Amino acid sequence: MCIFCKIVNGEIPSKKVYEDDKVLAILDLSQAEKGHTLVIPKAHFDTMLDADSQTVSHAFEVASKLANKIKTNLNADGINILNNSYEAAGQTVMHMHIHIIPRYKNDDLKIEFTDHSSLYNLDDVLAEINK
């Protein structure tokens, strides 16, 4: 059984932020920023891409509501909501989860996008996606 299934089953302790019959939200142990929370479907899916659309929708709806609550109550200045799917994208725990990361002015967390647009022709990319 994976580590998040064990948390869902109560075999491993966690700091519970929210729970309903489909999802559990807990504080991330790493606390990339204060209030860093994970929304975890109770059913096991290796990645978000393996999960059914109802599970994905519900998990993101909960993430959106919790993001508002966390932003207000922790006086955050912004929020990153993100999902890593597969190792190449930074996924380390192979049980779908959504990160809610509160952001504070002048915090030192780096989530950066490099501009690689010079490498690609957008029409070619579009055609490849829709082939």
Which residues are part of the catalytic machinery? 97
Of residues 40 through 99, those in contact with Zn ion by CB under 5 A are 44, 95
**Applying CB under 6 A, does 30 fall inside the site for ligand AMP?**
yes
117 binds, among Zn ion, ligand AMP, none (CB under 5 to 8 A by kind): none
**Applying CB under 6 A, does 47 fall inside the site for ligand AMP?**
no
- For the record, the structure tokens of 70 come out as 């966390």
Q: Which amino acid appears at position 88 of this protein?
A: A
From 14, 39, 66, 79, residue interacting with ligand AMP (rule: CB under 6 A): 14
Beta-carbon contacts of residue 6 (< 8 Å; ≥ 6 apart): 12
Q: What's the rounded Cα separation, in Å, for the pair 26 and 7?
A: 9
Residues 93, 94, 98: CA angle, nearest 5 degrees: 70
**Applying CB under 5 A, does 32 fall inside the site for Zn ion?**
no
Q: Which amino acid appears at position 73 of this protein?
A: N
Of residues 48 through 87, those in contact with ligand AMP by CB under 6 A are 84
Residues that bind ligand AMP (CB under 6 A): 3, 12, 14, 26, 28-30, 38, 84, 90-93
